[in-house]
Structure 1
Amino acid sequence: MVLNDDKRKNKAHLKRHGAGRRQNPGEDAANLPEKPGLRARQAAAKILAAVVDRKTPLDGMLDLENGNPAYRQLNDADRALVRAILNTSLRHLPRIEAILDTLVGTPLPEGARALHHVLTVAAAQILYLDVPDHSAVDLAVEQAQLDPRNRRFASLANAVLRRLSREKASHLTATRTVSVIPAWFLERLVTIYGREHAARIGESLLEPSAIDLTVKSDPEGWAARLGGSVLPTGSVRLPAASGAIPALDGFEAGEWWVQDAAASLPAKLFGDLAGKRVADLCAAPGGKTAQLALAGAEVTALDQSGNRLKRLVGNLQRLGLSATAVEANMAEYRPEILFDAVLLDAPCSSTGTIRRHPDVLWTKGPDDIAKLARLQERLLRHALTLVKPGGELVFSNCSLDPSEGEDMVSQVLADNPEWRIDPVDPAGWPGLEAAVTPRGEFRTTPAMLPATATHAGGVDGFYAVRLRRNG
């Protein structure tokens, strides 16, 4: 493998000082004190490998009860560092890999995949995080030396990362035009939204996602109290440095709940719900259920997970709201009396949430989107049977792909002539007119809602459509 003169010089230096290999690594590891921060970097590299190579969702691995053991064993500060490293690595992964390819010069050999993740974790710190470069380099070399798979590459890791530290400004400039969206998904976005909008979606991934609140009443008043701003959805967007959510004014009193502005739209598409029987078919964790209950509906909240329903009930109790919780598979659910209205926020690829869940683009693929679109179609067809004549149904999900939205809904409506789209009037949504499609559906993307001097921009990508059954 050819790197350059820097590699040869560093390799010679490492050999002279014994850093390229250890005579008895196991004995050294047992006798030498562990370097601070090493376990955090090891956990980050392991979890990154699970996301990228094994398509394992990140949230599950960061769960404090059942997540990755190496992560759970860390203290709070190190866990926060691991999360920062992983989110940064995944958000910038195409650019990091392009830089590493340039520095290494030739592809890493078979069996060096673990080293690739060590280098990625270190590069993310050097390029994008407030971590001393020498610490990122030193801990990456230590990781390589302690891993039998990577030990022979320790000198390479040292040379590559030291050069990156010296040249990072030029590499950041050179990769500025590299899309942070993986090629398979970028191609879909360009086809759907056009190259310019697709590029804006990609750039939005690099911005911190906002924290939005749905308030029971007086959004202007709560925005003033919390230092936030009111969005066109009526949500209150918090400033970046708001502190811990449970400590904020109004949390204990149940005056608001955290909910992305785009996720608040589907429940707002219904007409007057006072006294009406409404089903929320995939209800947990309960943000939309709370909206429906707040609007005066008699809500039946379904979810097939008992644990998720317990969380929903707990959230509603804090808010002083109520709903009838039913543990059931909605695809098999048949009520004795049909509902006045139904909300189906269906399971999907979650590609609209990539600002806050950057692992989605690395754990999902075209086959997943197609499979989930088929599931949504089956769920929607069943949901239609739960609504009485003259009633309404709102279908939504957090996917950016029309195959999970507009296209799928068109297929279902073609087979159900008693149902039609009840279009949204853009005039009724000032500030969100661009999110209303020609057919009167909602289609938001992470590139919408510009940032301000004090608040992050963007919203989750969401699709929502209001359907009405003939009376």
Structure 2
Amino acid sequence: MGSQPDRTAHDPVQGAVVVKPPRRGQQGNPQHQADEETVAGLVARKAAARLLAAVVDARTPLDGLTDNEHGHPQYKVLDGRDRALVRAILVTALRHRMTIAGLLARRLEKPLPPNATALSHILHVAAAQILFLDVPDSAAVDLAVTHAKSDPRAARFSGLVNGVLRSLARAKEAELAPALAATSEAPRWFSERLIAAYGAEKAGAILAAHRHEAPVDFTVKTDPALWAERLNGIVLPTGTVRVEKLAANVVDLPGFADGAWWVQDAAASLPARLFGDIRGQRVADLCAAPGGKTAQLILAGARVTAVDTSKNRLARLAQNLERLGLSAELAQTDLLDYRPTEPFDAVLLDAPCSSTGTVRRHPDVPWSKTMADVEKLAALQRKLLDRAVGLVRPGGRIVFSNCSLDPIEGEELYRAFLAETPGVIDDPILPGEFADLDAFLTPSGTLRTTPADMALASPAISGLDGFFAARMRRVA
């Protein structure tokens, strides 16, 4: 169920929009509030503000909130078109949160009260539409005012909402570009960690890359050039097929039904390659869902056991493998409790992490995570890595990877693990061993990618997720 159409006016984005100021004495009237729900687009904007609050105030991941089956109730009641609008608003509001905040602050005589979070989210939802989305300014403003009037926490500020947003709409042509140039779109904790890890220049390049929506990458079974042509994309130096903008839903693209490819960021496709020749070997893919790396290992000739703690995620992995025409042994268990009957020849641990390398795809990450989360997840990764080593035979290889940009979850964790773990030695990736990966090798022989790497013809087609990967060998 989505917002109901009004029959008296037309909004090219969301259908009809009629904004009727409340009659005297109507404020807070339940019937009036019910009438407001029939204003086309209002339910979607209310849902966007509510979900923005869940991300920013409650640090709830956006993907969970906007899951079509298990998402937030205010999202699930929307129809497909309104769901797409809500997600576009949220992604935009989070991707440009600091710029939006700055431009709104210029229009306030004094900061909003600390308890005025509902008002803040209404303003951010409207500003995202005015500044970055193809929504008529008048619709964005009027819906925000109506929203404010219907919310007891924001009703007395409805005049402020109107004035601030109309001022923003008038000034956006002159002010937006300078504001973007002067702003870093990240909370302080996040930008400080990037600077500490990469220096100010590289950190700035990473943050600039985060402003661009990520392209869509495909790992193909065979013939990347053919699939680049069919999908209207390009072949990256790593062999991944990249498409800037999809012309249709993924399931409707050529090759989907035939299992010719799967969606997988270029960086995520690298760790599975680090084993070299694994034909005929028994390989465990730990924390395996959704299965992109599992598929790579199978195609490389390995006999793969895919391990994941989540029943639902493992079921999704099984569905993905079935579409691809591939098979693996599946094991649903907590990795810390996993006890296979015999050790594996090789083990891949793509560990749960803070996901700070995926901000282009998930702009909620800097706002839904904290430094405490990074440290907590690093501690978990260390436990999982200890267990992963115990699953491989002496002489076997272990590849450890994750999609975090923070060295606490990558380089620093790996150095500490090697220093403190007897029977395991570093197995550095050598220059030229995988020629297309040389650009991502560190002096110590690990692999590190960032969104600022792989500069191509335009920012929209450049970059890749932030990933760390290291290779080691068990010797006892």
Confirm or deny a common fold (TM above 0.5).
yes
Is the 2:64–2:70 Cα contact (8 Å) retained in structure 1?
A: yes
SS where residue 269 of structure 1 aligns? helix
- Match for residue 76 of structure 2? 72
* Letter paired with 2:465: D
- The 2-side partners of 1:455 and 1:51 are apart by 25
* Letter paired with 1:435: F
Is the 1:45–1:118 Cα contact (8 Å) retained in structure 2?
A: yes
- Match for residue 203 of structure 1? 208
SS where residue 81 of structure 2 aligns? helix
CA RMSD of aligned residues (A): 1.8
- The 2-side partners of 1:231 and 1:32 are apart by 50
- Match for residue 324 of structure 1? 329
- The 2-side partners of 1:81 and 1:308 are apart by 27
1:51 lines up with 2:50 in the alignment: no
- Match for residue 115 of structure 1? 119
- The aligned runs of 1:436-451 (5 Å cut-off) are 436-451=441-456
Is the 2:214–2:460 Cα contact (8 Å) retained in structure 1?
A: no
1:263 lines up with 2:262 in the alignment: no
SS where residue 41 of structure 1 aligns? helix
Is the 1:21–1:154 Cα contact (8 Å) retained in structure 2?
A: no
- Match for residue 169 of structure 1? 173
Is the 1:20–1:154 Cα contact (8 Å) retained in structure 2?
A: no
- The aligned runs of 1:5-44 (5 Å cut-off) are 19=21, 22-25=24-27, 26=29, 27-31=31-35, 34-44=38-48
Shift of 1:335: 1.6
Q: Please, what TM-score do these two structures have when normalized by structure 2?
A: 0.92
Structure 1, 425-434 or 327-336: larger mean CA deviation: 425-434
Is the 2:37–2:43 Cα contact (8 Å) retained in structure 1?
A: no
Is the 1:21–1:152 Cα contact (8 Å) retained in structure 2?
A: no
- Structure 1 residues 307 and 101: alpha-carbon distance in aligned structure 2, compared to 1, 3 A threshold: same
Shift of 1:301: 0.7
- The aligned runs of 1:60-459 (5 Å cut-off) are 60-175=64-179, 176-430=181-435, 432-452=437-457, 456-459=461-464
- Match for residue 8 of structure 1? none
* Letter paired with 1:128: F
- Structure 1 residues 387 and 241: alpha-carbon distance in aligned structure 2, compared to 1, 3 A threshold: closer
- The 2-side partners of 1:147 and 1:454 are apart by 40
* Letter paired with 1:259: Q
- The 2-side partners of 1:359 and 1:397 are apart by 18
SS where residue 234 of structure 1 aligns? coil
SS where residue 467 of structure 1 aligns? strand
Shift of 1:100: 1.1
Is the 1:421–1:468 Cα contact (8 Å) retained in structure 2?
A: yes
Shift of 1:434: 3.2
Cα deviation code 1:174-225 (max 9, x no counterpart): 3222100211110110111011111111111111211111111111222122
Cα deviation code 1:215-244 (max 9, x no counterpart): 111112221222211112211112414311
- Structure 1 residues 18 and 40: alpha-carbon distance in aligned structure 2, compared to 1, 3 A threshold: closer
- Structure 1 residues 160 and 288: alpha-carbon distance in aligned structure 2, compared to 1, 3 A threshold: same
- The 2-side partners of 1:117 and 1:32 are apart by 19
Q: Please, what TM-score do these two structures have when normalized by structure 1?
A: 0.93
Count of residue pairs the alignment pairs up: 455
SS where residue 316 of structure 1 aligns? helix
Shift of 1:110: 4.2
- The 2-side partners of 1:225 and 1:398 are apart by 29
Unaligned runs of 5+ in 2: 1-18
- The 2-side partners of 1:382 and 1:32 are apart by 56
- The 2-side partners of 1:21 and 1:393 are apart by 69
* Letter paired with 1:106: K
SS where residue 278 of structure 2 aligns? coil
- The 1-side partners of 2:52 and 2:36 are apart by 27
Unaligned runs of 5+ in 1: 1-16
* Letter paired with 1:420: I
Is the 2:285–2:347 Cα contact (8 Å) retained in structure 1?
A: yes
